[in-house]
Structure 1
């Protein structure tokens, strides 16, 4: 398994709450940019919509979705 595949597997083990509720915004940014699949991204969008509904976070998730789509 390559380092990239291992990092993707490890990052996919984070729950939406772990990605979107850390104590500072830099960790939230890191949680979003390490999303590499649409299923995880959808889970995070659903979590954010059901809980905080922060426009800035939802924008970041949309940008990440656009990036995932462009690499597929």
Structure 2
């Protein structure tokens, strides 16, 4: 049984909703920069697309994806 992106919990114990809907922008930034794997990042992108679809947040997630890809090289 798979979890929906909203219910998915990553290894840090945070769901995409908790990462992308914090009470302040400082926590939002922290939620994005602490994404350490592509699975979590994909879940966050799916959550953002389904709920807020904020271009600025999607760009931050894209930037984080590029960082993760460059770390794998």
TM-score past 0.5 threshold: yes
**Structure 1 residue runs of 4 or more that deviate by more than 2 Å after TM superposition:** none
Which residues of 2 match residues 1-72 of structure 1 at below 5 A? 9=11, 11=12, 13-72=13-72
Cα RMSD, aligned residues only = 1.3
2: CA distance, partners of 1:46 / 1:57: 12
Unaligned runs of at least 5 residues, structure 2: 1-9
State the number of aligned residues.
63
Higher helix share: 1
Unaligned runs of at least 5 residues, structure 1: 1-7
Q: TM-score, normalised by structure 1?
A: 0.83
Task: String of CA shifts for 1:20-63, please: whole Å, max 9, x gaps.
Answer: 00011110000000001000000000000000000110000000
